[in-house]
Amino acid sequence: MSSQPSDAAAGTQAEISAEMAEIDKTHTSTGHARPQPVLNYPPYRSSILRHPTKDLHHADPEEIERWAPCFGPQDVGALEADLTVQHPGEPIGERIEVTGRIRDGAGRPVAGQLVEIWQANAAGRYIHQRDQHPAPIDPNFTGVGRCLSDAEGRYRFTTIRPGPYPWKNHRNAWRPAHIHFSLFGTDFTQRLITQMYFPGDPLLALDPIYRSITDARDRELLVARYDHEVTRPQWSTGYRWDIVLTGPHRTRFEEDDA
Amino acid sequence: MRRSTPGQTVGPFYHYALPYPGDHTLVPPGSANAIRFHGTVIDGAGDPVPDALLEIWQPAPDGSVVRRAGSLHRDGFTFTGWGRASTDTTGHFSFSTLRPGGPDAFFAVTVFARGLLDRLFTRAYLPSPEPAPFLKGVDAERRGTLIAVAEPQGFRFDIRLQGDGETVFLNFGTDER
Ligand SMILES: [Fe+2]
């Protein structure tokens, strides 16, 4: 398949890193702000045929787009926020807490909204048919979690620190350890799917998905920080990762009116 | 405004996480007034995209914005206005839903895919003799990409990520840095 080059045909990490450095240089010298990530980012080979070539068309949100879908307690079980209790045994790996606040661009908490996560296990393996990485599956770990944010916009998950895993973008390509996050805001236009990374990971600099956010100030927003206040004695280490959604388009006044 | 958290691709491994039973059936197929909203996602080479995920968000048939939970555990009676569908090996997605109501009605659509670094927004307007005001502001030759095609059972809406007939994707003024 042209959009998924085979390992043998692919470039080396050095070639990919050189391409990424070249793009950074161009973006710095031209200076103007771009949407982040850059959708047309050839070092991520699968993006080549899957990015729009025309400029996005500006639209003022219509009424339906100024509201987000609603989720409630009937949608999410209380245990879904703990990815370590979904099986009879304990999963293998470093138990962690991941927590933070979800706010909109005006700093308002996004309360009672759905947060979904998914991730590889401690060995870097997903429970997914298409994951062929020969690392062990953990029978006690699925790697899927959900919760609703609280009134202050806080979310919290207990999980296992995921491992890095190889992929076929180029020869010897490895994804830095990450947790996939799916978020909704208070309007439709705030919809976000992203990835949370871990501080100090040497694979970040080599990763074309992370580096497709060409502005360092922006991509660093995806890196959680270790927070000893989140760490639980005799139980788990803690990471804090806050999320800021775009917008909002709807004002507090309209909210009260509704 | 604070700097917003950037997006990243949904990647290849969401199938065991984001889809759920009933995700694409906003109403049970075959129930009263159920329609089909479906289409194919195509890449820049004209090939189907078998690992895309679509979400729709729409008003109720009376044009109102639905403010009801229950999309993840559908009770078979509550219309929530929101759904999610994965494309199959032929790039095809399908929803069972109700016709969105109100003037200039459309399905708000979000597209995610492996290879697509951030979500894309678009609209699938219902066909109408008089195009919606927004559509009049879109180049005439591209306008059709925002209009669903009426079929006996509902509407078809194909999405071309790139190239000939590239779908018009939207920026709500939130993507500038
Ligand atoms: Fe991943």
pLDDT, position A251: 59
**pTM tops 0.90, yes or no:** yes
Assign A28 a pLDDT band (cuts: 50, 70, 90): confident
Average pLDDT, chain A: 92
pLDDT, position A34: 78
Residue B53 CA to ligand 1 center (angstroms) comes to 15
B115 in contact with chain A, both atoms CB, cutoff 8 A: yes
Task: Please answer yes or no on whether A60 and B172 come within 8 Å at the CB atom.
Answer: yes
Average pLDDT, chain B: 96
Longest dimension (CA), chain A: 60
pLDDT, position A120: 97
Pairing of strands A154-160, B82-86: unpaired
Residue A143 CA to ligand 1 center (angstroms) comes to 11
For residue A20, give the H/E element and its range: helix A13-30
Residue B137 to chain A, least CA–CA distance (Å): 10
Q: Does ipTM top 0.90?
A: yes
d(CA A66, CA A136): 45
- Write out pLDDT tens, residues A163-219: 999 999 999 999 999 999 999 999 999 999 999 999 999 999 999 999 999 999 999
Please check the confidence at residue A255 and state whether its pLDDT lies above 70.
Answer: no
A89-115 mean pLDDT: 97
Percent of chain A with pLDDT over 90: 84
Assign A10 a pLDDT band (cuts: 50, 70, 90): confident
Task: Please answer yes or no on whether B174 and A190 come within 8 Å at the CB atom.
Answer: yes
pLDDT, position A5: 46
B61-67 mean pLDDT: 98
Q: Taken in order A209, A211, A215, A218, is the CA torsion positive or negative? A: positive
For residue A175, give the H/E element and its range: strand A173-175
Please check the confidence at residue A7 and state whether its pLDDT lies above 60.
Answer: no
Q: How many CA atoms lie within 13 A of B64 on its CB side?
A: 7
d(CA B157, CA B160): 10
A70 φ/ψ angles, rounded to the nearest 5 degrees: -100, 140
B99 in contact with chain A, both atoms CB, cutoff 8 A: no
Q: Which of residues 22-41 of B touch A (CB under 8 A)?
A: none
Q: Which of residues 150-179 of A touch B (CB under 8 A)?
A: none
Cβ–Cβ < 8 Å for B34, A35 = no
Residue A178 CA to ligand 1 center (angstroms) comes to 6
What CATH topology corresponds to B14-160?
Answer: Protocatechuate 3,4-Dioxygenase, subunit A (2.60.130)
Assign A257 a pLDDT band (cuts: 50, 70, 90): very low
Assign A67 a pLDDT band (cuts: 50, 70, 90): very high
Query: Could you tell me the residue ranges of all domains in chain B?
Result: 14-160
A62 in contact with chain B, both atoms CB, cutoff 8 A: yes
Cα–Cα separations (whole angstroms), residue B61 to A70, B4, B58, B81 = 18, 34, 9, 10
Cβ–Cβ < 8 Å for A122, A161 = yes
